[in-house]
Amino acid sequence: MARHTPFHERTSVLNTTQLWSHWAGYLSAQRYQLSEKFEYFAVRNSAGMFDTSPLYKYRIHGRDAETFLGGLLTRDIRKCRPGHAQYTIWCDDDGYLIEDGVVIRQSETDFLLSAAEPNLAYFQDRIGRLDVTIDDISDEVAALALQGPKSREILTKLSPEIESLRYFQTIETKIGGAPVTVSRTGFTGDLGYEIWVENANALALWDAVADASDGYGVLPFGETALLMTRIEAGLVLIDVDFSSSRYAWTDADRTTPLELGLGWMLRSIDDNERPFIGRQAIRRELAAGSRWHLTGLLIDWKDWFNLYDRNGLVPPKDHLPGAYESILYDDAAEPVGYATSLMYSPMVQRHIAIARVLPELSTPGHQVNLEVTINHKWQQVKATTTQMPFYSPPHKTA
């Protein structure tokens, strides 16, 4: 039986569609409005509220917590000072990605790590003799994301200190009378914040944010609108753009950080004082080269139009994200990669996709051909590799 998040008393009333999905055993709204585009544009033009409570949350603390995370996480946790957060990943011994998440450093010896999938047993098995304790607080802490260009203005009304919060910084404050941790993080590629609160104070937090949002056109938004924004932001998603190496059957289904465009996390890979899991395998890949490179795709709108028109169809402009693989070919009909997330972007006004291609095609401007199904036949439409993100407003990091 699916459980309810601490905000369900509010979200269930606001969800006029009553469309729910299951996320980590909890009910999670797919969309609240008749059209998810209302919610999407609320995020892009003002702000939206998203219940991100189903995330798994682990408090990792103790004298050796930094050493423990330094040997587990691919990104160097030593660079993350108290009051800051990091987007990070962890790999297996062969250098394949297990999962990604966000870690908040609350003090020298206290960390909060959140992830989409359960990792408790995996982490605990690697403590060894270190002085580290891992507490699963997933069911004790609620999380509310406020995302969009007006999010700072709204939250500053509730806690003036938030106005000075920089990108990926955190702060301990009070909202609605409740102690909270606020991190300037999110999954929309826009200005945004995530607020972490004990379950008992969740409804007071929701009501305070909702009251402060009055007159701004703020809406709660569901998973569909979130997925739209994350593709425009070029943010990868587990089980869509990559699979956890723990559950993949073959290496073809596994992904390395370099193949996923996360090589920027590896600046300290030659530091012998931090031999993190997968380090040697990744160093070998750096020397030998990767199988794939992550890239964005812009679909040729004229070719898209003509292809459907020749088949007697009105060219679709579907903003709903496609969570499936579409093969990419060169002009000789040889496979050169695959796209994993395809949608028509309301902001870019083009069909866009996140894709992996052969390394020699990853630089912007290379033409590939995307496989599509029209009238029950495989056909191809032209596309061009491009840098991501597709949408990155200046206020996101300002």
**Per-residue pLDDT tens digits for 181-229:** 999 999 999 999 999 999 999 999 999 999 999 999 999 999 999 999 9
Phi, psi for 3 (deg, rounded to 5): -95, 165
**Per-residue pLDDT tens digits for 340-373:** 999 999 999 999 999 999 999 999 999 999 999 9
CB 25, CB 56: distance < 8 Å: no
Is residue 289 classed as helix, strand or coil in its secondary structure? Answer: coil
Would the CATH topology of 8-52+139-221 be identical to that of 293-394?
no
pTM for the whole structure: 0.96
Judge: domain 293-394, CATH 3.10.450.40: no
pLDDT band at 337 (very low <50, low <70, confident <90, very high): very high
**Per-residue pLDDT tens digits for 306-323:** 999 999 999 999 999 987
By percentage, how much of the chain surpasses pLDDT 90?
98
CB 77, CB 276: distance < 8 Å: no
Peptide bond into 54 cis (omega under 30): no
pLDDT band at 324 (very low <50, low <70, confident <90, very high): confident
DSSP assignment of 107-134 equals ETTEEEEEESS--HHHHHTT-TTSS-EE
CB 335, CB 329: distance < 8 Å: yes
pLDDT at 6 over 80: yes
Q: What is the pLDDT of residue 178?
A: 93
Judge: domain 56-136+256-290, CATH 3.40.50.11890: no
CB 100, CB 236: distance < 8 Å: yes
Is residue 34 classed as helix, strand or coil in its secondary structure? Answer: coil
**Per-residue pLDDT tens digits for 266-301:** 999 999 999 999 999 999 999 999 999 999 999 999
The pair of structure tokens assigned to 117 is 């999938």
For the chain, how many residues are written? 398
Average pLDDT value over all residues in the chain: 97
Q: What is the pLDDT of residue 2?
A: 86
Q: What is the pLDDT of residue 117?
A: 96
C-alpha distances in angstroms, 140 versus 137, 144, 201, 274? Answer: 5, 14, 11, 32
The pair of structure tokens assigned to 182 is 């606020």
Question: Residues with Cβ < 8 Å from 236, sequence gap 6 or more?
Answer: 100, 242, 260, 261, 294, 354
**Per-residue pLDDT tens digits for 36-50:** 999 999 999 999 999
Judge: domain 8-52+139-221, CATH 3.40.50.11540: no
Angle (CA) 50-55-58 rounded to 5° is 135
- The Cα 136–Cα 139 span in angstroms is 8
Please state the separation of Cα 389 from the chain's center in Å.
12
Q: What is the pLDDT of residue 323?
A: 78
pLDDT at 96 over 90: yes
Is residue 303 classed as helix, strand or coil in its secondary structure? Answer: helix
Domain definitions of the chain by residue range: 8-52+139-221, 56-136+256-290, 293-394
**Per-residue pLDDT tens digits for 104-157:** 999 999 999 999 999 999 999 999 999 999 999 999 999 999 999 999 999 999
Q: What is the pLDDT of residue 141?
A: 98
pLDDT band at 234 (very low <50, low <70, confident <90, very high): very high
Closest CA to 231 of 345, 69, 358, 66: 345
Question: Residues with Cβ < 8 Å from 99, sequence gap 6 or more?
Answer: 89, 90, 115, 116, 117, 119, 238, 244
